[in-house]
Structure 1
Amino acid sequence: MCTGIRFTDSNGSMYFGRNLDWTQGYGERVVVTPPAAQAPAAFERSGDLDAKHAHAVIGMGIIAEGVPLYFDCGNDAGLAVAGLNFPQSARYAADPASVVAGDSEQEAGPSTSSKRRVGAVGADRGSNPINVAAYEFPFWVARNFATLDDAREALGRVTVVAKPVSPQLPVANLHWMIGDATGSVVVECLEGGLRVWENDVDVLTNEPDFGWHRQNLRNYLMLSGAEPEAAMWDRARLAPFGSGMGLQGMPGDYSGPARFVKAAFVNSHYPVQDTEGANVTRLFRTLASVAVPMGAAQMPDGSFEITLYTSCFAAASLTYYHATYSDPQIRAYRLAAYDLGGTEPFVAQAA
């Protein structure tokens, strides 16, 4: 289970964050990858940026086989991406797509529809197909693109391949949320193909697919943060007990559908804030409304899912914030505080 959100402040600057919910951690730490890092790619890709033009990346993850495996991250241009669990519906390609001789790159451009189906999983993607292993998808996005529009354009040629980084780390079934100051999209590899959804509610959780979640919100359009008016039942006047009763019917469990509804409501109704401190508080408070406590979500083996950490990427200051289940103190990692001249990803210390 996981929940991701995005919003902008009064100046139009983006804040992007997530809860990571699971039964155990993986030794994840805040990782910084300099532009010149020699992280090996899963496939040969001629379009990847070189060391002089690639973006610096900061976020939560682990380093395996010299590759930064980001759970979520942001880059020096203010673009952010997060991977969330999608265990039932994710369908990756078994093999990379191949180049079709004679095709022009222009012919492989993406659709401009608000719901883009940009090619079948595992199908040929036209000229210069972009093969990306699922494990490297967040890093590939953050390293190579400055804007959401740039990422959208490239996704028209992407095939996500079920290739593990090592035999010890199996492929995780995920879908992804990508955002910048202009908005966000959800990327899903479904049975019928890779699909890019325009995310007008700036929220993502888990199963089912994003299209289902977006339609399901219509079941809750009567929710309101306002105190309801008193009602007359014949001669009886029924007054509300107090504020908050406009949210009667809000789902309160920790399933993906319930968390999506609650996070979408809180995220959209939270008053716009001005300062970075107030907006970091907004993000952590919003995600706290769907955070999973010990004992509420038991797995078949008897273990419990909990919110292992909450993170926030502030695009204006390029600062990554996070707090953990056992240590709720929010720590800050400012990208500018680190030496970005190296050639290897490294674990960062709080600034």
Structure 2
Amino acid sequence: MCTAVRFTDSEGNLFFGRNLDWTVGYGERVVVTPPAAKVPAAFERPDDPERGHTVMGMGIVVGDLPLYFDCANDAGLAVAGLNFPQSARYAAEPVEDTVNVAAYEFPYWVARNFSTVEEVRAALERVTVVARPVNEQLPVANLHWIISDATGAIVVECLERGLVVWDDDVNVLTNEPDFGWHRQNLRNYLMLTGGEPAAATWGSARLAPFGSGVGMQGLPGDYGGPARFVRAAFVNAHYPTKSGEKDNVTRLFRTLGAAAVPEGCAEMADGSEERTLYTSGYSVATRTYYHAAYDAPAICAYPLDACDLTGDKPFFAEAAA
């Protein structure tokens, strides 16, 4: 399970973030890949440039290969992969005369090579996402992706009918089912409001609301993908637009908190329990990645501009003092 959101501040700057919900961590840390990094590609892609964008996000490094769970680049483009285990259908083998990208490298490939959502959308017309594992220890993960810049967001899904690109006008993504289903499901919640309902008269009785927040009765409270999608979409759409870094980082983490999973509430079939392992976000205005873990909830900041980007290998960033 996972939840991702995006929004812009009063000056149009993008803030993008996600919860990663799972039973165990992978030793993930904040990874920076400089523009001259020599990252091994899963397939021959002669059109990939020698130098790309600087990429920063949460992930692990296997050899010289950065495996990003979510990331953003120095141009203001951000991407996150979310669990999509029932519906994802990747190509079993590379397809001739297309741009073949392994699912595990898709977030980095997007962030390294493109500056805007529209550039990604155009490139995806020729892309095949292939089910190639990293190695025997890291099998293929079934995911879908939200990709965003300051202008908006798209969702990329590999379905039975092929690769589908959705316009994400609600700026949210969770897990199953597909995005189209989630978008239609929001129509079941048109009655929700953050305002206080008006009093009603039933016969001779005048019924007044108990107080604020009552207009949200009917908001789903479970931790499944559909419920988290509705909650995140409602909160994200109704949160007031803010100015300044501090208020917008607060907005990002509070919005994602509405869909965060506490321990003991989401038991898996094998008895293990999911929880929100971390919440993260990226501010384009300050080029800063933010991160807070379940057991260490204080938000840590990782400014990209404090990193040495002259090398040719991915490296782990240090939090600002």
TM-score (norm 1): 0.91
**Counterpart in 2 of 1:84?**
82
Corresponding pairs, count? 320
Deviation at 1:139, TM superposition (A): 0.2
Deviation at 1:269, TM superposition (A): 0.2
- Residue by residue over 1:146-190, the C-alpha shift from the partner in whole angstroms, topping out at 9 and shown as x without a partner, is 111111110111100000111110000000000000000000000
Is 1:350 equivalent to 2:306 in the alignment?
no
Work out the CA distance in 2 between the residues paired with 1:154 and 1:301. 40
Deviation at 1:252, TM superposition (A): 0.3
Work out the CA distance in 2 between the residues paired with 1:341 and 1:305. 39
Work out the CA distance in 1 between the residues paired with 2:153 and 2:4. 11
**Counterpart in 2 of 1:287?**
256
Map 1:33-72; keep pairs closer than 5 Å: 33-51=33-51, 54-72=52-70
Is 1:268 equivalent to 2:237 in the alignment?
yes
Map 1:26-175; keep pairs closer than 5 Å: 26-51=26-51, 54-99=52-97, 129-175=98-144
Q: In structure 1, give the amino acid aligned to 2:157.
A: E
Q: In structure 2, give the amino acid aligned to 1:276.
A: E
Work out the CA distance in 2 between the residues paired with 1:49 and 1:282. 36
Map 1:188-199; keep pairs closer than 5 Å: 188-199=157-168
Deviation at 1:300, TM superposition (A): 1.4
Work out the CA distance in 2 between the residues paired with 1:306 and 1:185. 26
Of 41-50 and 209-218, deviating more is 41-50
Work out the CA distance in 1 between the residues paired with 2:316 and 2:30. 6
Deviation at 1:65, TM superposition (A): 3.2
Deviation at 1:234, TM superposition (A): 0.8
Structure 2 unpaired stretches of 5+ = none
SS of 1:308 mapped into structure 2: strand
Which of the numbers 256, 267, 270 marks the counterpart of 1:298? 267
Work out the CA distance in 2 between the residues paired with 1:265 and 1:347. 35
Work out the CA distance in 1 between the residues paired with 2:276 and 2:129. 27
- C-alpha RMSD of matched pairs (Å): 0.6
Which segments of structure 1 move beyond 6 Å, counting only runs of 4 or more?
none
- Residue by residue over 1:323-344, the C-alpha shift from the partner in whole angstroms, topping out at 9 and shown as x without a partner, is 0000000000011100001000
**Counterpart in 1 of 2:188?**
219
Work out the CA distance in 2 between the residues paired with 1:56 and 1:65. 19
Q: In structure 2, give the amino acid aligned to 1:95.
A: E
TM-score (norm 2): 0.99
**Counterpart in 1 of 2:22?**
22
